[in-house]
Structures are given as structure tokens and as C-alpha cells.
Structure 1
Amino acid sequence: MLKAVILDDEIRGSTLLNRKLEAFAEELQVEAIFNDPFKALSKIVELDPDVLFLDVEMPGLNGFQFLEKLGSFNFQVIFTTAYDTYTLEALRLSAVDYLVKPIDEDELHTAIFRLKKRVAGGMKRTSSADQNSALNRLALSTAEGIYFINKSSIRRVEAMSNYSIFYLQDAKTIMVSRTLKEYESILQDENFLRVNRSVIVNLNLVVKYRKGEGGTLEMDDGVEIEVSPSKKMALMKIMFPV
């Protein structure tokens, strides 16, 4: 049973979403509903949800700022928003899905399907060798504090506006207020590659390449990432050296 939390400053919006989620009662349970992001900050860690349905525009603390203040988190994110703006492409990449209000039931069904696939893939853990290694560590500074991680534990890094989101093998996610371009230079010699404008991947964790104009990479957690045609040659040189 998946555990969910809803954070939306509008009571009407959170209530309607909760009702629509009742259709998935056999596989998902709403553990808590918050209409104040600051109250959610103090409670969400102990609730330990699998997914957070997160409103983007909230007074005092928007969805991006909420995740940054949280620092690191082990749950997936499905954004809910009334604003179909330029940020939605970034939201699509960095979250399981985004849902534009009023939320369509078919789109909600698709989001839950993606969520189950993402959660199932994210349960894989790093090897003991990775966990014990003191080499190749990276310091990630967040509003909460500084996290020290092994570079080998990074699955991918995704851009979201002016933030970078690190997805790790232990299913943890860390949000940092630095651009993807900065981390591209830091990771360039570590078998990482920026395969499109918004994603850097750990090539050691690629399990399948699907052919196409640029192609598609399938990662070890089941996430599929499109390769930009301009990056295909660089990818081929690394993945299939002569």
C-alpha cells in the first residue's frame, strides 16, 4: 500500500484531490493533508510517505522552496498546479508527473501508474562497496545542511528551474539551489553525461539503450530518459568505444 500526503494551500483543492484518490483506495492511502507548507515541513519526515502531491504556487513558501527547505527526501513528487507555464517542462522531468487543475481523472490514473513504477524501481539499494567508499564524494549544500554523497551513488541529476535535483540509488532525493551546468563540469570525468538540456545521467547505471533519432536510455530504476540528437555521438563514444 502506497502512502500519500497532499500539500495544497487551498482547502477546496486538497479536498477534491483527496476524493479523486479514493478511486485508488486499494493501492494508495492518503496519510495526511496539509494546507500550510510550514506545518508540513515539521511533519512530513515522520509520516514517511511514498509520494507527495505538491501544489506549486503557495503563499509564503512555494513548492520549489518547500523541497529546498526539506533538504533531502525519500518520497516521490507529483506536482499539482493551476498554472500551465514554462516551468511545466522542468516539472515533468523532475517529478513523477504534474497535474494541471482541475485534475483530470485519466491523467491522475496515468500519474499513479508512473508512481508505482518509479517506487518499485527506487527500492534498489547501493552496494556495500559504494556505501563504505570514502573516495569520490560530493558535498551538496541545502537549506537544511550539507550532505556528503558518493558520486557513484548518483543515478541522475535533473534541472528544475534554477535548482538541481539529485536522485540517488538509496531512493533519496536531494534538491540543491545550483544549476545543472555547474554539476556538469564537476561530474564530467566520472562517467556522467548530460544527455539532454535537463538531465545528467550516471552511465554506469544504464541498463538499456533504445534506438531513435537521439535514442532513449532506461536506467536501473526503470526511468526512461530521452537523448538529445546532438548528444548521441558523445554517448556512443562512451558506451560503445571502438
Structure 2
Amino acid sequence: MTRAIIIDDEPNAVGLLALRLSQHCPQVEVVASCTDSHKGVQAIIDYYPDVVFLDIEMPQLNGFQVLEAVAGISFSLVFVTAYDKFALKAFRYSAVDYLLKPIDTQELIQAVQRVEKHKRIGPEQLEHLKQQFSNPNKPFPDRIALPYQNGVTFVNMKDILYCESDDNYTKFHLSDSQHYLATKSLREIQDLLEERDFLRVHRQYLINLSHIKKFVKGEGSYIVMSNQQTIPVSRAQKDRLMERFGWL
């Protein structure tokens, strides 16, 4: 069984999540549910759960303060939030799992499946997320957290040359010739990075536009990146690429 604790100051939200878990995730045992954040801290200390479903905005202690109070205890974390679009991107840039209220059943099932793969939040992820929340006027972070099978690694956006699809994974190619294989699809990465200076130019490639060295048009159009790597440009994406640069 996966032992879970729910911490949320809204009693209805706590009850509904517990009900959804019992109905759709019978392998999860809710060992404590708390509407008081101080009691939530004590429950984590007492039960050493496998996963905590945690609200962020709560009276007394917010979600980050709860986590700081139990920093020595390892568990998987799923934020449960009614936050806006900015906050959701902050979670995604930090590779932190979240559920948006009202909770979708399928998303809950998927979150539990990720928890069962023993994905534990690291201190660097939490700090990265806190920095984004403390500066909501900054539209984008300078780094992105890339989840892999054994944890999370952080890379600077400016160092990413291009991303390459590898089935349900994505390979990140960096300017120092390093490679990282992230456990997210290229579509998920595209949704996150195309608001930055990135563009999907081919079904297999998402490129950092600031690293383009040359664009060769015609049949079989392609791009030469700053590391001399050539990237094909699909016919459907050629116009989007030219439009982004205002090329004639």
C-alpha cells in the first residue's frame, strides 16, 4: 500500500480527494487528513508517509513552510492547488507534480502512478519553485528542471541547443556537448518552451532559436545550429520559422 497524507485547509477539498483516492486508487491508504497545517506537520512526523497531497495557500503555515518543517523526512509530493496559469508553469519548470482543483480523476490516477515510481522532491526543486513564487513578475526562470529516472537535473535555458524526441522521452542537447534524457515527451517540452525562444521545426526536433547559425531553404530545408549540427525543417513548420524571424 502507498501511505498518503492530505493537508488542505478546506474540509470539502480534503474529503473529496480522500473519496477519489478510495474510489480510483485503492492501492493508496490515507493515513491522515488535516485541515490544520501544524497538525499536518505532526502527521508527517508521526506517519512517515509515502506521499503528501499538499495545498500551498493555507493559514498559519503555507505549503512551503510545512515542507521546511519536515525537511528531514523523505516522501513524494503532489501539490493540490487552485492557482492561476503562472503558478502552474512554475510547477512545470521545477518538475514538481501538481493537481489543479477541481481535481480531474484521470490526472489523479496519473499522479499516483508517478508517485509509485518513487519520485521524491529534492531540496533544489523546492528552492527553485519558491524562487518563482516569490518573484511572480519575472515571466520565466533562467533554468529548467529535467526529470530523469533517478531524480532531477537543472540546466540553464541558454545552454540548450535543441531537444530531440525519443519515444516518450526527450533528449536535451547542450552547448557543452552534454546530453540529458528527460522523462517527458517532446510535446510536453514544447508546451513549456515555445513561449521562450524555442520552436518545434520538425516532429522530432524543438530548437533554441538563439543557437541558429544558418537556415537553408528549398526542398529538404534544414537548419545549421551553433554546434554545426543540421536539423531538418518540415514543410509545415518552415513558414512558422520564417515568420518568427521576419525572413523574406
- Given residue 41 of structure 1, which amino acid in structure 2 is its aligned partner? V
Q: CA RMSD, aligned part only?
A: 4.2
CA distance in 1, matches of 2:59, 2:29: 27
- Greater gyration radius: 2
- Stretches of structure 1 that go unaligned for 5 or more consecutive residues are 123-154, 164-179, 182-191, 198-208, 235-242
CA distance in 2, matches of 1:30, 1:95: 24
- In the TM superposition, what is the alpha-carbon distance from 1:42 to its structure 2 partner? 2.1
TM-score (norm 2): 0.53
Aligned residues of 2:170 and 2:184 also touching (Cα < 8 A): no
Deviations 1:154-207 (A, max 9, x none): x883211328xxxxxxxxxxxxxxxx98xxxxxxxxxx974245xxxxxxxxxx
CA distance in 2, matches of 1:99, 1:88: 9
User: Does residue 217 of the first structure (1) align with residue 217 of the second (2)?
Assistant: no
CA distance in 2, matches of 1:89, 1:216: 24
User: Does residue 63 of the first structure (1) align with residue 63 of the second (2)?
Assistant: yes
Evaluate the alpha carbon distance shift between residue 69 and residue 224 of structure 1 in structure 2; reply closer, same or farther with a 3 A threshold.
farther
Aligned residues of 2:44 and 2:70 also touching (Cα < 8 A): no
- Given residue 97 of structure 2, which amino acid in structure 1 is its aligned partner? D
* Aligned residue in 1 for 2:100: 100
- Given residue 195 of structure 1, which amino acid in structure 2 is its aligned partner? V
- In the TM superposition, what is the alpha-carbon distance from 1:15 to its structure 2 partner? 0.2
- In the TM superposition, what is the alpha-carbon distance from 1:93 to its structure 2 partner? 4.7
TM-score (norm 1): 0.55
* Aligned residue in 1 for 2:2: 2
- Given residue 157 of structure 1, which amino acid in structure 2 is its aligned partner? E
Evaluate the alpha carbon distance shift between residue 25 and residue 101 of structure 1 in structure 2; reply closer, same or farther with a 3 A threshold.
closer
- Given residue 69 of structure 1, which amino acid in structure 2 is its aligned partner? A
* Aligned residue in 2 for 1:74: 74
- In the TM superposition, what is the alpha-carbon distance from 1:116 to its structure 2 partner? 1.2
* Aligned residue in 2 for 1:53: 53
Secondary structure of 1:3 counterpart: strand
User: Does residue 161 of the first structure (1) align with residue 124 of the second (2)?
Assistant: no
- Stretches of structure 2 that go unaligned for 5 or more consecutive residues are 133-140, 143-151, 158-168, 199-206, 212-224, 227-248
Evaluate the alpha carbon distance shift between residue 32 and residue 110 of structure 1 in structure 2; reply closer, same or farther with a 3 A threshold.
same
Range with greater deviation from structure 2 (91-100 or 41-50): 91-100
CA distance in 2, matches of 1:217, 1:25: 32
